[in-house]
Amino acid sequence: MDKTRCKVLLVEDSDCDQRAFKRAVREQQLPYDYTIAGSISQAKETLDMDEFDVVVLDHSLGDGTAFDVLGLIKNTPVIFTTGVCDEKVAVRAMKEGAYDYLPKDLDYNYLKALPNVVKNAITEHKIRNELEKHHESLEERARQLAVEKEFLNNTFSSIGDGIVVVDTEKRVILFNKAAEELTHWRFKEVRGKSYDKIFRIIDEKTREGVENPIDRTLLSGKREFGGNCDLLVSKNGDERPISITASPVLKKDRTIAGIVMVLHDMSKKRQTHAG
């Protein structure tokens, strides 16, 4: 038996059964800090004043039955005991939240089985509580991520420049509305695809393809810029002058997690200079 001490409430109106319980605790050297309630009313008062790791609850009590108090025991495992070996009682007890059911016997052999049942009840209860906390934590994190995602999407949508985020394999993972308008691609069309298959950048003078700054950033780990004569060729063949900046997104260990590419449409600026 684990020697970690636990608080046990025994609800039992029989003096003989109370003494047998005390004797079992003493003889087996059980690490129990126990309290004994001899009636339903006393059990209710005790539960109002203190918390326990486990409750051992006798079925038949002088002022009622265990079912009069079972529903009041919250977030504590209950081990149901009774001298009446009635299957209906056992089934009802389990349905109403009891952890386990032990039939009493005249030789008190059930008290030999009780320590393992108590240990298992407490252990399973702790595990269940931890899982619930973990689940609540995951749900809260999921809510936070949903809020963050909505904020990020709204922020991306409000930016006038095209924003494209790729991973280290050059696959597109984010693509804002301005990037859609510049390239005539939709995010759902390009998500997960290599940017090489989406973006075609040529030199305005030579009409030759030019290197995307993303490639240089992946090699250098630093911010890289496009050329002064870059033209973006869109999905439908339109061409427009753009300014390109590629910046690394770094992990804590300073390795690259991805690249953020900013596409700035230079058409209006050129028209202004031309005018």
Q: Which CATH number fits the domain that encloses residue 111? A: 3.40.50.2300
Give yes or no: residues 92 and 13 share one domain. yes
Instruction: Look at residue 203 and tell me if it is in a domain.
Output: yes
Instruction: Look at residue 185 and tell me if it is in a domain.
Output: yes
pLDDT by residue (tens digit) across 49-87?
999 999 999 988 888 888 998 888 888 999 999 887 677
Instruction: Look at residue 141 and tell me if it is in a domain.
Output: no
Give yes or no: residues 125 and 226 share one domain. no
pLDDT by residue (tens digit) across 9-22?
999 999 999 999 99
Give yes or no: residues 119 and 178 share one domain. no
DSSP the chain: -----EEEEEE---HHHHHHHHHHHHHTT--EEEEEE-SHHHHHHHHHH---SEEEEESEETTEETHHHHTT--SS-EEEEESS--HHHHHHHHHTT-SEEEE--TT-THHHHHHHHHHHHHHHHHHHHHHHHHHHHHHHHHHHHHHHHHHHHHHHHH-SSEEEEEETT-BEEEE-HHHHHHH---HHHHTTSBGGGT-EEEETTT--B---HHHHHHHHSS-EE--TTEEEE-TTS-EEEEEEEEEEEE-TTS-EEEEEEEEEE-HHHHHHHH-
Give yes or no: residues 11 and 129 share one domain. yes
pLDDT by residue (tens digit) across 124-139?
888 887 877 877 787 8
Give yes or no: residues 180 and 253 share one domain. yes
In this predicted structure, what is the pLDDT of residue 1? 47
Instruction: Look at residue 153 and tell me if it is in a domain.
Output: no
95 against 7, higher pLDDT: 7
165: domain CATH number?
3.30.450.20
Give yes or no: residues 10 and 127 share one domain. yes
Number of domains, the chain: 2
In this predicted structure, what is the pLDDT of residue 75? 85
Could you tell me the residue range of the domain that residue 267 belongs to? 159-274
